[in-house]
Amino acid sequence: MKTFHCTCGNKLFYENSVCLSCKREVGWCPVCKGMHAMEPDGTGGYRCTNPECESRVVKCFNYATQYVCNRMVENPGQLPTQLPLCDYCQLTETIPDLSVEGNRAKWYELEVAKRRLLYQLDQLGLPYSQPIELPLSFDFKEDIEPVKQGKVIVRKGERVFTGHADGKITINLREADPVEREKQRVSFGETQRTLIGHFRHEIGHYYWQLLVQDKDEKAYKAIFGDHESPTYSEALDQYYKNGPKPNWQESYISAYATMHSWEDFAETWGAYLDMIAVLDTADNTELLELPGEDLQSTQLDELLARCVDLSIRVNEVNRSMGLPDLLPETFTPPVVEKLQYIHRLIKKGRKKSK
């Protein structure tokens, strides 16, 4: 993740909506693709202060009215009567009930994680929006308790499951509650459970359907196993009955990855995106220097070596504060083989998107 600079020289981060030094409004410019201070243009719109850009822009509707976004939309001329949604906010089809106290704050956290995911997909050059066969969208929903009057149910309840289906990623709103998320993390014995982790896992299922299904299944099966036998429901029952496979650390990135071939792929995909995100941030903040013009031009062996070196350093820093390891994964030879497959798959998918 890159950092940018305000016109006053202060450093700007990806979530900023105001410069903490000079108090200028800040936004993501879709034209020059960076975080910059935005100067009002006197007509209700703004001008990007990047001297190499200076484009006319307006705030995303969710920035101006809901305060859950910080992206701008290009304004080619006359100020629109209705502020548009930015390209990222257009992908959210269902938002939480904002009449419920606390839901707006949770929605904000979900949008922050979603923006980081989409930023990374853009950096990798992966397709996810029209015109493609499986456009991506998001639902942010909460469980609904049934309402009864006496013995009569006047409103049916709904239990929301975080997951992916045919291009739609659904995230249960409780995952944006740090207390509930920590309970789930401990309950399931996970080393990490984060909002961005959910997004990176579920987008793995999305890209399996987009890039693997009916396109590369033979090569996929050779690495991850047969996703058709056992069936997903059979594997799910077996996993929750007996737990993960013995000695799973030798061949899998996580315990949950042992459940089914699809989950192995999604967990490994998520770990790959974690690695790329951490290395990209470390490179841009000068914690380390990566070779090559971008991470996708670098060989996986080199990326893994840099990641292991970085993890040793930052994990020790975390341990000195009594915190969990930042990068707990172990890259055994079978896991590396799976990561190599994903590395190649992303390169193939990237070429198709251009």
User: Could you tell me which of 70, 75, 35, 36 has the C-alpha nearest to residue 55?
Assistant: 75
Pairing status of strand 11-12 against strand 46-48: unpaired
Distance CA 353, CA 230 (A): 33
Q: Which residue has the tokens 């499951």?
A: 161
Pairing status of strand 26-29 against strand 56-59: unpaired
Which residue ranges make up each domain of the chain? 4-86, 87-210, 216-354
Distances (CA, A) of 251 to 14, 173, 254: 35, 32, 9
Distances (CA, A) of 183 to 77, 207, 259: 50, 29, 21
- Tens place of pLDDT per residue across the chain (354 aa): 888 999 999 999 999 999 999 999 999 999 999 999 999 998 889 999 999 999 999 999 999 999 999 999 998 777 777 899 999 999 999 999 999 999 999 999 999 999 999 999 999 999 999 889 999 999 999 998 777 767 767 667 789 999 999 999 999 999 999 888 888 877 777 777 899 999 999 999 999 999 999 999 999 999 999 999 999 999 999 999 999 999 999 999 999 999 999 999 999 999 999 999 999 988 888 777 666 556 666 789 999 998 888 888 889 999 999 988 887 778 999 999 999 999 999 999 985 544
Token pair in block for residue 300: 């996986």
Q: What pTM value is reported for the model?
A: 0.92
User: Could you tell me which of 67, 72, 59 has the C-alpha nearest to residue 112?
Assistant: 67
* Residues found in the chain: 354
